[in-house]
């Protein structure tokens, strides 16, 4: 087991009260595998990723649980330890919209090389050599090193950002909506690249997206998040054809399918407010199978098909 997250909680303080962005999330990740975390916007999937790499804003009111990387609990580490030992060295992340955060006045190669210069103390020349190699790995020609961000297309920038995440040979790569700003044809190119990296480097990934179809391109396992909680976890082979949780079922059937004739459905209502989520099961106000119990008690995780589902239907 490479990474084990248990009972992770991340709350943000706001004037209306605590936003329970991540509320008791547990999952594990094996070496070389890819876990997809999917859900609607505002379900806490990005916050989960940020909690793992400890990229936290200032208004955090609660940050607890266990994040074990090969038996080392990351939560108790000090900020300095975390930065020097874990972030980017062991776990790196491609942030949402990172391709637009490249500094427009610095050459791309230098920006990608920066972690090598900072963390490994390499000289600029050595670092750039490694970057050239990485660029070849992500399908960029080595002359791109000397270009400025505005000279690159969106797809090229995203490749550079992925190269940057790989500079220190991390064990785990977290990708937060890595293709959402790209055109569909470029999206497919990036997905092929990620598949290649997964195969060649044997790297573990956490892939965060709202698009299950896209995630099915690379993910071995799926975690479905709803209102700050992981409601279902299981292998792609189990979840995609036969989802158990009503929310997962609905989410899958809302995808318009090009290659089959199903009419997409939708989930009525809107996701709940994370300051005051509904009592009991958080999905119960929108659930078609709601029972009396659902609004009273929060369902436990029930083991099903090698994964778990958080629903009273399976208890």
Partner 1 sequence: MEPILELIDIKTYFSVRKGLFKTLTVKAVDGISMTISRGEVVAVVGESGSGKTTLGRTAIKLIEPTSGKIVFKGSDITNIKGDIKWIRKEAQIIFQDPFSSLNPYMTIKQILEEPLIIHGVEDVSEREEIILRALNNVRLSPPEDFILKFPHMLSGGQRQRVCIARALVLNPSFIVADEPVSMIDASSRAEILLLFRELQEKYSIGMMYITHDIATAKYFSHNISVMYLGKIVEYGPTKEVLKNPFHPYTATLINAIPDPDPENRFRERSIVPGEPPSPINPPTGCRFHPRCPQIIDGKCSLSEPISREVDLKHFVACHLY
Minimum CB distance to partner 1, residue 231 (Å): 13
Minimum CB distance to partner 1, residue 263 (Å): 7
Buried b (16+ CB within 10 A) or exposed e, 144-182: bbebebeebeebbbbbbbbbbbbbbebbbbbbbbbbebb
Of the candidate residues 105, 150, 185, 288, the single one contacting partner 1 (CB under 8 A): 185
Minimum CB distance to partner 1, residue 43 (Å): 10
Minimum CB distance to partner 1, residue 185 (Å): 5
Tell how many helices (H) and how many strands (E) occur in the chain.
10, 12
Of the candidate residues 57, 58, 78, 184, the single one contacting partner 1 (CB under 8 A): 184
Between 132 and 217, name the residue whose CB sits nearer to partner 1.
217
Between 116 and 203, name the residue whose CB sits nearer to partner 1.
203
Of the candidate residues 165, 219, 225, 227, the single one contacting partner 1 (CB under 8 A): 219
Residue with tokens 């990387």: 69
Contact flag: residue 270 with partner 1 (CB under 8 A): yes
Contact flag: residue 133 with partner 1 (CB under 8 A): no
Q: Is residue 233 within 8 Å of 222, Cβ to Cβ?
A: yes
Q: How many CB atoms lie within 10 A of CB 303?
A: 11
Minimal CA–CA distance to 167: which of 194, 211, 201, 131?
Answer: 131
Say which residues have a Cβ less than 8 Å from residue 94's Cβ, sequence separation at least 6: 161, 162, 165, 173, 174, 175, 176, 178
Contact flag: residue 6 with partner 1 (CB under 8 A): no
Distance CA 215, CA 221 (A): 10
Is residue 230 classed as helix, strand or coil in its secondary structure? strand
Minimum CB distance to partner 1, residue 286 (Å): 9
User: With CB under 8 A as the contact rule, which of the stretches 16-24, 79-87, 168-176, 237-245 interacts with partner 1?
Assistant: 237-245
Q: Which residues on adjacent β-strands are paired with residue 174?
A: 93, 206
Of the candidate residues 60, 68, 118, 188, the single one contacting partner 1 (CB under 8 A): 188
Element (H, E) at 111: helix 108-119
String of contacts with partner 1 for each residue 239-268, x by CB under 8 A: -xx--------xxx-xxxxxxx--xxxxxx
Between 199 and 296, name the residue whose CB sits nearer to partner 1.
199
Distance CA 245, CA 255 (A): 16
Question: Considering CB under 8 A, how many residues would be counted as binding partner 1?
Answer: 50
Task: Count CA within 13 A, CB hemisphere, residue 178.
Answer: 34
Contact flag: residue 153 with partner 1 (CB under 8 A): yes
Distance CA 193, CA 239 (A): 24
User: With CB under 8 A as the contact rule, which of the stretches 44-52, 65-73, 142-150, 206-214 interacts with partner 1?
Assistant: 206-214
Distance CA 276, CA 233 (A): 24
Between 76 and 256, name the residue whose CB sits nearer to partner 1.
256
Contact flag: residue 288 with partner 1 (CB under 8 A): no
Minimum CB distance to partner 1, residue 113 (Å): 25
Interface with partner 1 in residues 24-63 (CB under 8 A): 40-41
Complete DSSP assignment for 39-66:
--TTSSHHHHHHHHTT---TTEEEEEEE
Judged by the rule CB under 8 A, the positions of this chain that interact with partner 1 are 40-41, 153-156, 183-189, 191-192, 195, 210-220, 235-237, 240-241, 250-252, 254-260, 263-268, 270-271
């Amino acid at each position: 087991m490479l990474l084990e997250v248990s009972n992770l909680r991340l709350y943000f303080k706001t004037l209306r009260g605590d936003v329970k962005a991540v509320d008791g999330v547990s999952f594990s990740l094996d070496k070389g595998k890819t876990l997809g975390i999917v859900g609607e916007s505002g379900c806490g999937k990005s916050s989960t990723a940020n909690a793992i790499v400890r990229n936290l804003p200032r208004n955090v009111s609660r940050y607890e649980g266990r994040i074990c990387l090969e038996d080392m609990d990351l939560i108790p580490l000090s900020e300095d330890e975390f930065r020097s030992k874990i972030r980017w060295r062991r776990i790196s992340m491609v942030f949402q919209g990172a391709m637009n955060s490249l500094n427009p006045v610095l050459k791309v190669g230098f920006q990608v090389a920066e972690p090598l210069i900072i963390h490994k103390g390499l000289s600029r020349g050595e670092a750039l050599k490694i970057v050239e190699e990485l660029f070849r790995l992500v399908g960029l020609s080595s002359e791109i090193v000397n270009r400025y961000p505005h000279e690159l297309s969106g797809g090229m920038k995203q490749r550079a950002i992925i190269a940057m995440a790989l500079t220190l040979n991390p064990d785990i790569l977290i990708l937060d909506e890595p293709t959402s700003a790209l055109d569909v044809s470029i999206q497919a190119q990036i997905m092929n690249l990620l598949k290649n990296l997964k195969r060649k480097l044997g790297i573990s990934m956490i892939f965060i997206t709202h698009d299950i179809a896209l995630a099915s391109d690379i993910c071995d396992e799926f975690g479905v998040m709803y209102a700050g909680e992981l409601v279902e976890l299981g292998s792609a082979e189990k979840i995609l054809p036969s989802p158990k949780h009503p929310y997962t079922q609905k989410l899958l059937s809302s995808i318009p399918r090009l290659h089959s004739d199903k009419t997409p459905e939708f989930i009525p209502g809107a996701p709940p407010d994370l300051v005051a989520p509904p009592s009991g099961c958080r999905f119960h106000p929108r659930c078609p199978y709601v029972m009396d119990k659902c609004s009273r008690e929060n369902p436990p995780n029930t083991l099903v098909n090698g994964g778990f589902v958080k629903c009273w239907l399976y208890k």
